Structures are given as structure tokens and as C-alpha cells.
């Protein structure tokens, strides 16, 4: 490996670390406000994902970018997968997984579907799912959003 290759590799890792630090800062400092804005939009539109930022009519009214919305989707799903696992929607014909986050007694669901690609979005869980989360062992999948924020506060980026 020559010197140019070493510099490219070092630059790649430095850029990745910088991006991870930006994601972490956004989640720590704006995560709660973002959750509330996402919830408001979901209640008005039914669901919200990055494409809505580009093509949504009406355009979502968020104080952050589609990239930051992507941070939230990706980071929350990864956190759920690593900490409590992901239930699936048995009625869906596609491979899927879900995650549930609660903040100030409001629940947001992330739904991820894999087909010829992967798509994920925020939505409100239906009444049956909310009852299962609150009244059965299924509640193990309900994550307190503050726990997610605290995880990021303590996360060390290497």
C-alpha cells in the first residue's frame, strides 16, 4: 500500500467519525424536539419518511433536514434492534421489522420493509398494538425515548 492509499483510508475514517459525531450531537441536542415534530407530522399525514421531505404534499413542517430525519430513523431502528429486538408484522408479505418508542406518553412506531430495497418510515401504531405494548409481555419492545437519548450521550465514537 502506498502513501496515497494510506491517506485515502485515513480520510475515509476521519469523515465517518465526523459524520457519526454530527449524528450524535443532533440526537442529543435536538432529539426530543425532533421526536415531537415527527409525531405531529405523523398524526397529520399518517406516516413520515425521508421521501416526504422531497416529494410530500404538503411538505412536512420540520425544523431539521431530511438527512437528520434519516439519522433519527436509522439510529432509532439500530438502537431497538440492538437493545430489545424487533417484532415483525406477520400479516405483511414482505420481510419487515418494527420498533416502538415512547416519549411523554406518545408512541411512535418505525416500520421497515425489505423487498427489492429497504424502506422505513415513522407511523403511529394502531390501537391493538398500543394495547399489546401497554398490557402484555409484548411491552418488552416499547423503548423509552429518554433511554435512547442517554445511550447517545454515553456513546463513545471511535
Residues 53 and 59 sit within 8 Å (Cβ to Cβ): yes
H or E stretch at 123: strand 118-123
Q: What is the pLDDT along the chain (158 residues), one digit of tens a residue?
A: 677 777 777 788 888 889 999 999 999 999 999 999 999 999 999 999 999 988 888 889 999 999 999 999 999 999 999 999 999 998 888 899 999 999 999 999 999 999 888 899 999 999 999 999 999 999 999 999 999 999 999 988 77
Phi, psi of 116 (to 5 degrees): -85, 5
C-alpha cell at 62: 420540520
- Alpha-carbon distance of 27 to 47, in angstroms, equals 20
For the chain, give every domain's residue range: 3-154
Amino acid at each position: 500500500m502506498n502513501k496515497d492509499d494510506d491517506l485515502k483510508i485515513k480520510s475515509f475514517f476521519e469523515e465517518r467519525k465526523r459524520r457519526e459525531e454530527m449524528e450524535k450531537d443532533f440526537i442529543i441536542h435536538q432529539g426530543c424536539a425532533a421526536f415531537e415534530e415527527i409525531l405531529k407530522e405523523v398524526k397529520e399525514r399518517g406516516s413520515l419518511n425521508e421521501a416526504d421531505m422531497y416529494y410530500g404534499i404538503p411538505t412536512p413542517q420540520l425544523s431539521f433536514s431530511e438527512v437528520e430525519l434519516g439519522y433519527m430513523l436509522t439510529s432509532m431502528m439500530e438502537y431497538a434492534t440492538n437493545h430489545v429486538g424487533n417484532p415483525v408484522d406477520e400479516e405483511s408479505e414482505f420481510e419487515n421489522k418494527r420498533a416502538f418508542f415512547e416519549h411523554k406518553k406518545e408512541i411512535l412506531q418505525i416500520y421497515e420493509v425489505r423487498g427489492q430495497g429497504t424502506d422505513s418510515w415513522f407511523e403511529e401504531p394502531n390501537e391493538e398494538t398500543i394495547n399489546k405494548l401497554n398490557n402484555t409481555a409484548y411491552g418488552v419492545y416499547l423503548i423509552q425515548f429518554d433511554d435512547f437519548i442517554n445511550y447517545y450521550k454515553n456513546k463513545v465514537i471511535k
